[in-house]
Structure 1
Amino acid sequence: MAPAETLGFSQATLDRIDPALQAFVDSGQVSGIYAVIARHGRIRYERTFGQMDVARDRPLRRDAIFRIYSMTKPVVAVGVLRLVDQGRVGLDDPVSKYIPSFANVQVFAGGTADAPILRAPDSPITVRQLLNHTSGLAYGLTPGPVDTIFSRARLYDAGRTLEEFTDSLARIPLLFSPGTQWSYGSGLDVAGRVIEVASGQTLDRFLDEQLFRPLGMRDTGFRIRPEMRDRLATVYTPGADGTLQPVRGDGLMAMFEPEARFFWGSGGLLSTPDDMLRFTQMLLDGGEFGRTRILRPETVALMTHNTLPPELTPVPSGALRDPTYGFGLGVAVKVDTAGATRPGPVGIFRWSGYLGTYFWVDPENDLIAMVWTQLSPGSRVPLEATFQELVYSALQGIGNRE
């Protein structure tokens, strides 16, 4: 912790954050919230609100375990980039070099989900395209024929291995020829399998040895351990009467259980805010945390800058609700301020999880901010947007000074 003024914040404006976040809990929109602001490597603001288990009347703990869902993606991207730095993977390598079944992928060229017309892609999918969502791989998020085929395949099954998943995915047509469009897809799942093949280790073991242990991320992993149960935040969703109800029997939730076989590279990590602060601080510091180097500075620069050509920027991402973002490798990157719906300078990089876990990193202001809840879906409430407005109001309140 450090005093507000030494980190360039107005304490009076920071004091507005507590009632604003508490209001989300008091109104019954979310069960609990964790929020933190760090600048210059020191924490200025950190609070918890509400409960991690409403029925048991258990306050949200600072060390609570969250299911971070798609916030897994930038972690897996860093895993791939570590192999790139080690010379074991090339970003422009075809994916089929590591997963032979991808040599035969086809592109949807018309027809219906029941009778698709297919053609060969103009070029093979590359590792880079897995990380910046230009691969053409589906994700089951739209009503189109390809996503219908994807959804029918029910690939996200806790009993399936990552190898089985990727070989099945390779038989589903692409939305478009690789590199020609941007579409949020399942590329980071395939990237997880690339890690396994290139490293000779399972995805969980590789990330644990190469990222989590070196960074001191003690509570991050793909499976709920027995000692975690007491700290695991309950996931809620609005019931028929509008009140929050715990989520039960969700197929994706089974991915986190000890008996699961699938290492879900696009959404399967459990973590804590402390652990993700270490991860994001490593990125902000150019790939190094303390004396531990994870990535080369130039590799972090590539990851956290827009990798898309002008014709594909900004990205059509409904999750961001901000038309000023391009995409790096595993993270969205702010490329403009004109028309922005949120404050902050060009260069911010960020991502989030489906259940309402959010982070953003602002290199210009040497700032990291995170706000987390466990709501399905998290986008039901404007938690992140509200928090970001308040953070920059406090930063701007005294002239953005160092």
Structure 2
Amino acid sequence: MADARPPARGNRIGAEPGGKPCPSLPRGKDREGVPRRALAAGVAALAVAPRTAAGTDFARIDAALDEAVAAGTVPGLVALVARGETVHVHTAGVRSLETGAPMRRDTIFAVASIAKPLTAAAALLLVEDGVLGLDEPVDRFLPELANRRVIRSLTGPLDDTVPATRPLTLRDLLTMRMGLGAVFADPATSPLLRRMAELGVAPGPRLFQDGPDAFLRRLGSLPLVHQPGERWLYHTGLDVAGVLVARAAGMSLGAFQRRRLFEPLGMTDTGFFAPTGKAGRLATVYWRDRESGRLAVWNPASGAGFADPPAFEAGGGGHVSTVDDMLAFGRMLLDGGTYRGRRILSEASVAAMLTDAITPAQKAASPFFPGFWDTHGWGLGIGLVTAPDAISPTPGRFGWWGGFGTTFWCDPATDTVALLFTQRMMGGPDDAALGNDFLRLAFAA
């Protein structure tokens, strides 16, 4: 199955009918031959003047971040703002409260959902290769998800279903409209949600603990919540897309991403775990205890979660990375698929990623955080800003947040990549406040 290579097909990349591009998309700007400046790993901050890039006040950014660490909002952080050829990095606090090890520029973080576009990019590389099609059924590589059925009611019995109107496609997975994902309802009221939790496949901070085949078997035992392509449900589609990439490529997701994305982009610290020799650079993940208000260890830096190869390479949220690695990926997207003169993704693939795929009707029927859809959309594996918001009056940004406390957004209007990596788990919308304050300063024109 993994070795199958179908003949190439035409018209494989592009927006589905009616898809509208996100405003201010990159227009394939060619910066070939222009080097990106970066200092050696471990340097705390670049020596730059407080204001050096179109009004960006780096001193104000640093002061605000230092204040957050001093107040105990987060144990530590690494921030990077790259505007044009100016790159500014700031570190503060510690990567481990237990050891007091200081944050460094090369600290490796569990980045959670900001790695969703990494999996989408890997899938689009296989589309460009002619191995996958965006709108073809995934059944050939994922037979566990063939002949789907859809539950009649979220509160009804698991066997009260109707047939799916069509097979699942790669586009369904990348746009998170596969019919399964995060449902904002009380699991006690739903046999389906309870069963998802029992099987370990409900979206959440705990990654799936078994292998990819077991993951697909368990998903395949469940009915869908909605018909394929009908509504947006967060997360699960990108985990499934990761399994699809691995099977279609004939190698693990991590191996394929390393060969086709990470090595060409120089993302030497990105993967699904920090191997021997790098585990000491991992930041410990914390969560805030609701009763005491104190930070408690969620996953120690030396624990099994990110220092050892996982059984399941979760394409939707299982990666580790650094700010410099994600800067390279963001620069590639801003440059229309090229990086340092090398073509990584086609311009058409990048444009497809950055096209809002969720219709107004689907947004209205797809609950997420209050007001989210007023200013946001979702492309192929990545979030889009579609209207002026509290961060900037200029739409067109793309990126996402990670549940372990990471922020990754790119702004074509100011040619800026902004990254804020912390290691405090998000527990609700308010936990994005620090990241959003950082973005307001980073994208100031």
Q: CA deviation at 1:246?
A: 1.8
Match of 2:199 in 1: 153
2:179 aligned residue: 136
Closer, same or farther: CA 257–120 of 1 in aligned 2, 3 Å: farther
**2:387 is matched with which residue?**
336
Distance in 2, matches of 1:254 and 1:174, equals 32
Q: Which ranges in structure 1 are unaligned for 5 or more consecutive residues?
A: 397-402
Q: Which runs of 5+ in 2 are unaligned?
A: 1-45
Are the counterparts in 2 of residues 222 and 269 from structure 1 also a CA contact under 8 Å?
yes
Q: For residues 172 and 249 of structure 1, do their structure 2 counterparts lie closer, same or farther at Cα, with a shift above 3 Å needed?
A: farther
Per mean C-alpha deviation after superposition, the further-off stretch among 259-268 and 365-374 is 259-268
2:417 & 2:154 partners in 1: Cα distance? 46
> Does the residue aligned with 1:302 lie in a helix, a strand or coil?
helix
Identity across matched positions, percent = 34
In the alignment, the residues of structure 2 paired with residue 172 and residue 25 of structure 1 have an alpha-carbon distance, to the nearest angstrom, of: 44
Alignment RMSD, CA only?
A: 2.4
Structure 1 CA distance for aligned equivalents of residues 413 and 207 of structure 2:
41
| Pair 1:121–1:41, CA change in 2 (3 A) | farther
Q: Structure 1, residues 77-136: CA drift from partner, whole Å, max 9, x if none?
A: 000011111111100011212211211221110264655511111222110010011111
Aligned equivalent of 1:121: 164
Tell me the TM-score normalised to structure 1 length. Answer: 0.89
Distance 1:198 1:4 in 2: 48
Q: 1:9 aligns with which of 51, 55, 61?
A: 55
Q: Tell me which residue corresponds to 1:25.
A: 69
Higher fraction of helix: 1
Corresponding residue for residue 399 of structure 1: none
**How far 1:177 sits from its partner (Å)?**
0.4
Partner of 2:110: 67
Indicate conservation of the 8 Å contact 1:322/1:342, yes or no: no
In the alignment, is the contact (CA less than 8 A) between 1:137 and 1:186 conserved in 2?
yes
| 8 Å Cα contact 1:84-1:90 kept in structure 2 | yes
1:42 aligns with one of 86, 92, 109: 86
State the TM-score, normalizing by the size of structure 2.
Answer: 0.81
CA distance in 1, matches of 2:79, 2:300: 28
Output aligned runs, 1:2-401, within 5 Å. Answer: 7-10=53-56, 13-43=57-87, 45-110=88-153, 112=155, 115-139=158-182, 142-144=185-187, 145=190, 146-155=192-201, 159-239=209-289, 240-248=291-299, 254-258=304-308, 260-313=310-363, 316-318=367-369, 321=372, 323-337=374-388, 340-377=389-426, 379=428, 380-381=430-431, 382-392=433-443, 395-396=444-445
Note the C-alpha offset of 1:344. 4.4
The structural deviation recorded for 1:291 is 2.4
How many equivalent residue pairs? 387
More displaced 10-residue stretch of structure 1: 34-43 or 59-68: 34-43
CA 1:185–1:294 in 2, change beyond 3 Å: closer, same or farther? same
Question: How many Å apart are 1:55 and its aligned residue?
Answer: 2.2
Q: Is the 8 A contact 2:236 2:316 kept in 1?
A: yes
Deviations 1:52-90 (A, max 9, x none): 112222211110010011122110000001111111110
Instruction: For 1:233, give the aligned amino acid.
Output: A
Contact 1:113-1:149 at 8 Å conserved across structures: no
Q: Deviations over 1:327-351 (max 9, x none)?
A: 10011111122xx333242211111
1: CA distance between counterparts of 2:159 and 2:300?
Answer: 33
Q: Is the 8 A contact 2:183 2:233 kept in 1?
A: no
Shift of 1:257: 4.2
